[in-house]
Amino acid sequence: MFVVQSPEVAVLLCFVTMLCWGSWANTQKLASKEWRFQLFYWDYSIGVLLLSLLFAFTLGSMGSEGRTFLEDLGQASAVSIGWAFLGGVIFNLANILLVAAIDIAGLAVAFPIGIGIALVEGVAVNYINNPAGVDGVMLSLGVAGIVAAIVINAIAYRRLPAQGERTVGKGIAISIIAGVLMGLFYMFVVWSMPEKKDGVLVDAGRMYPYAAVAVFSAGLLASSFIWNSIVMRTPFVGEPVPFGDYFGKGNARLHLIGMLGGMIWNVGMSLNILASERANPSVSYGLGQGATLIAACWGVFVWKEFKAAPAGTGKLLAAMFVSYLAGLALIIWARLGAA
């Protein structure tokens, strides 16, 4: 299987993750013009699983390093499979809430709040779980920069004129809940993978990245029948969504858009998990969740979500971007500077 050999390559892959995680939601924005996000989400979930299987039977089944995907999955313990599957279930609930928040509050608002909270929490729990090779002070300063960017974004959002349901705080509240849940899922996937104890690699019964991501993806799709079904029956905004609409109102283009969104997201997830051994899980997760910056750029410059904001809002948004970039730079230094 393909493995990452150096911290520098690992950091580069984390930047690809950032682009993927910050861009996939554009597919939801495109699809939402024609049908509800709950219908989009079925195709998104399918796309996530398809991409994991594509990587598993290509990159995860070639070369002389480690085990092939099927060998790895066959020797995995029930505990390891359970951790990765649980990670998919938790992520899926968080992500459905995030997609709902994007639908209500917009990309430039929901992503910085939800993913910003997830970044802070996720970096903290993964660092506590495995602090090896990371400068804790630099990491903390980087997280502080991200928190400052979140606060600035919230201030900028408050300057927007009233737009009915978009200003009642529902979208922000859902983003916060999504962020708290999102900060936990990565840790469970990491627990399913090999680890070093006293310098010795413990991998018996554990799964390497490709199998871990495939099981995670299966957990995501399976739990959609619970989480997504609930929000179809009792949506946050609007009328209930009949399941028959998935077949009755969908077309090939809409289904492909949703699957593309899931595949884009899972390219980021797969590369991030691959990078986590060399970059350290706290750093790889933190850099990946720099996706907030990418999503904010899409929301501000492409979707024009702040076009109705009063004069001076642009300076706040610029300050948000600067603060976020500074935070990301410090997170990178926390790993490479300690290497």
Contacts (Cβ under 8 Å, ≥6 apart) of 326:
142, 145
> Is residue 1 situated within a structural domain?
no
What are the distances in angstroms from CA 38 to CA 31, 70, 278? 11, 33, 37
166-178 per-position pLDDT tens digit:
444 788 889 899 9
- Cα separation, 307 vs 247, in Å, equals 36
Handedness of CA 201, 204, 206, 208 (dihedral sign): positive
What per-residue confidence (pLDDT) applies to 168? 47
* Listed residue (49, 93, 79) closest to 216, CA to CA: 49
Token code pair at residue 260: 């593309």
What per-residue confidence (pLDDT) applies to 166? 47
Least confident of 29-33, 256-260, 272-276: 29-33
pLDDT band at 315 (very low <50, low <70, confident <90, very high): very high
- Cα separation, 246 vs 232, in Å, equals 11
Residue owning tokens 């079925």:
42
What per-residue confidence (pLDDT) applies to 167? 43
> Is residue 205 situated within a structural domain?
yes
What per-residue confidence (pLDDT) applies to 339? 61
AA letter at 114: G
Task: Over range 84-113, report the average pLDDT.
Answer: 86
pLDDT band at 292 (very low <50, low <70, confident <90, very high): confident
Distance of CA 297 to the CA centre of its chain: 17
Write down the mean pLDDT value for the chain: 89
Instruction: Indicate the number of domains in the chain.
Output: 1
Max distance between CA atoms of the chain, in angstroms, equals 60
Crossing angle of the two packed helices 107-129 and 78-105, in degrees rounded to 10: 150
Q: Which residue has the higher pLDDT, 81 or 105?
A: 81
pLDDT band at 107 (very low <50, low <70, confident <90, very high): low
- Cα separation, 54 vs 312, in Å, equals 47
Token code pair at residue 112: 């910085």
pLDDT band at 260 (very low <50, low <70, confident <90, very high): very high
Contacts (Cβ under 8 Å, ≥6 apart) of 49:
214, 217, 218, 220, 221, 262
193-203 per-position pLDDT tens digit:
998 877 788 89
Q: Contact, 24 vs 261, CB < 8 A? A: yes
Least confident of 55-59, 78-82, 324-328: 324-328
Q: Which residue has the higher pLDDT, 66 or 211?
A: 211
What per-residue confidence (pLDDT) applies to 79? 97
> Is residue 329 situated within a structural domain?
yes
Q: Which residue has the higher pLDDT, 109 or 141?
A: 141
pLDDT band at 288 (very low <50, low <70, confident <90, very high): confident
- Cα separation, 294 vs 298, in Å, equals 6
* Listed residue (271, 168, 265, 185) closest to 223, CA to CA: 185
> Is residue 249 situated within a structural domain?
yes
What per-residue confidence (pLDDT) applies to 113? 82
For residue 202, the surrounding DSSP H or E stretch is strand 200-202
* pLDDT higher than threshold 90 for residue 157: no
Contacts (Cβ under 8 Å, ≥6 apart) of 136:
127, 334
At 23, phi and psi to the nearest 5? Answer: -115, -20
Highest mean pLDDT among 106-110, 261-265, 306-310: 261-265
* pLDDT higher than threshold 70 for residue 108: no
* pLDDT higher than threshold 90 for residue 273: yes
Highest mean pLDDT among 5-14, 147-156, 284-293, 295-304: 5-14
pLDDT band at 56 (very low <50, low <70, confident <90, very high): very high
Residue owning tokens 């209500």:
104
What are the distances in angstroms from CA 17 to CA 8, 247, 315? 14, 32, 28
> Is residue 129 situated within a structural domain?
yes
Task: Over range 84-112, report the average pLDDT.
Answer: 86
Task: Over range 139-155, report the average pLDDT.
Answer: 86
Token code pair at residue 96: 């459905």
Distance of CA 327 to the CA centre of its chain: 18
Token code pair at residue 81: 């499979």
What per-residue confidence (pLDDT) applies to 298? 87
- Cα separation, 235 vs 213, in Å, equals 29
Its domain, for residue 317, covers 7-336
What per-residue confidence (pLDDT) applies to 163? 55
> Is residue 2 situated within a structural domain?
no
